[in-house]
Structure 1
Amino acid sequence: MKKPQRDVTLRFLAEPQDVNFGGKVHGGAVMKWIDLAAYACAAGWSGRYCVTAYAGGIRFVAPIHVGSLVEVAAKVIYTGSSSMHIALEVNACDPKSLNRRLTTHCIVIMVAVDETGHKIEIPKWIPESEADKKQHQSALKLMEMRKQISDEMQIYLEEE
């Protein structure tokens, strides 16, 4: 069996239809690109169709201008039985200078599903390098934080 692909980078130019009323690429377009890269990464790792279960910690650091070369890098940092935690980083630059700058980063959790939409087992990712181990530990901490946030959010889901 072929080794699963742990990471992927999508590259393209930001187009005029991606712009908001302020003249910069709007957050919704960036979030769409993040979801596409997360899917490509998760599908490459699992060899299966995957769905988005969570997107969080989205931090918009700097604007993206029309005509910028955009790179969306996605990497598996943790796997469960059917889920993959994907760390994403969006960088942009003028294609003439190639002086990249971070614009956005976040975590997306994708779940592999079968033809009927039920969760399906995926290959386990085992961290090897020190950087991998730090990312893995970070994913575990984020899992605990998400649980705490979910518990706190219950107040908004209760009926009055």
Structure 2
Amino acid sequence: MSLLPVHRLRVADLADLPVLLDLWGSLFEDETGEEPWRVSARAWFASTVDDGATARLPVVEVGGVVVATAIGTLELGVPNPYCPRGRTVRLANVVTRPGHRGHGYGTLLVDDVIAWARRIEADRVDLSATPEGRRLYEKAGFALTRAPRMKLSL
């Protein structure tokens, strides 16, 4: 019988900004220092962290140290048959430090954002999955859609 590390799931606060920037930066292997995205992320976090109506930033702590996080943000759009209220939550940046993977922290974070999406009456939760993360999202009930994701960087 293996014992899981003692962990705590909570919502991020302003004091978490440095560690969250570090975790988010780990998603981009060659990004370091004070790139423009970090400056913008710092400002976004400071203005959003306490806004539970449009964003959810859960973290998992182990021994008082944040080891995993995710972001849920509310996107408002035109209501349609697939999104009757026009309320979509975008799930992004689900990341766990390498030494803490395999303990179910990603599942805790995804479930937390899904529960928040239900509380704020979103119609659906959308995400882009890496091949490594796909199994986690499928277990949570996510399914591939017909529309491939496209983007235009400005």
TM-score of the two chains, using structure 1 as the length reference: 0.29
**With CA pairs under 8 Å and 6+ residues apart, which has the higher RCO, 1 or 2?**
1
Name whichever structure is richer in strand by fraction. 1
TM-score of the two chains, using structure 2 as the length reference: 0.30
The structure with more radius of gyration: 1
